[in-house]
Amino acid sequence: MSAIQPLNLVVDIASGRLEPATTVVTRRLSDMRGMYADAAAEAALIERDDSVVYEVFQYDVPEETGQLFVCTTVLEPGRVGDEYFMTKGHYHRVRDRAEVYYGLRGEGQVVLMTEDGRCSSVELRPGVVAYVPPCYAHRTVNTGSGELVFLAVYPGDAGHDYESIERSGFSARVLEYNGSPTLVEQEPSEGSR
């Protein structure tokens, strides 16, 4: 790829799209099979309409130290059983690469997990920055009734490690509990499916 020249990127808050975006990723429920706790509810929803859960609009840069990827994510509202719609989640392939999320519309949480499996969460809403420190797995959850839209910036050489999450999951999930989003620890057996 040729060197990136200085440029402006524009976020359309209404649609959540980043312009220009050179990569657009669309993930449906069927692309996330096995990630939600309630397998029966997940299968039923996929059977019914296999809805889009989220889209990512990214401006690609060379995958090199010193570069920064910029992208927006539009995460739809919804639930699989009691569990709110969420992103797949990942570690960075180069573990010690951090990331910043900036909330633009809607409400949600970023679930963070250390490599030894300790989970916590931080808020995401308009005007709020969520800081993902080096070495943490991260997943975004939409706990609101409208779309969750946020901007993310992360190092060009970070990469995505989805396999570790597909193998072991997150050790906590955000579930609706008595009407409120609650971070619930999972049994180790479930986390290590």
Does the protein bind ligand M6P through residue 152 (CB under 6 A)?
Answer: yes
Given the rule CB under 6 A, which of 37-45, 86-94, 111-119, 184-192 is the region that contacts ligand M6P? 86-94
Buried b (16+ CB within 10 A) or exposed e, 146-163: ebbbbbbebbbbbeeeee
- Is 168 buried (19+), middle (13-18) or exposed (0-12) by CB count in 10 A? middle
Considering the complex, what minimum distance in angstroms separates the CB of residue 175 from ligand M6P? 19
Q: Is 73 in the site for ligand M6P (CB under 6 A)?
A: yes
Query: What is the smallest separation between the CB atom of 16 and ligand M6P, expressed in angstroms?
Result: 11
In angstroms, the CA 164 to CA 101 distance is 22
Query: For ligand M6P, which residue of 71, 80, 149, 175 counts as binding (CB under 6 A)?
Result: 71
- 83 lies in the site for Zn ion, by CB under 5 A: no
Per CB under 6 A, contacts with ligand M6P among 17-36 are none
SS3 call for 163 = helix
90 touching ligand M6P, by CB under 6 A: yes
For 97, the token pair is 């690469």
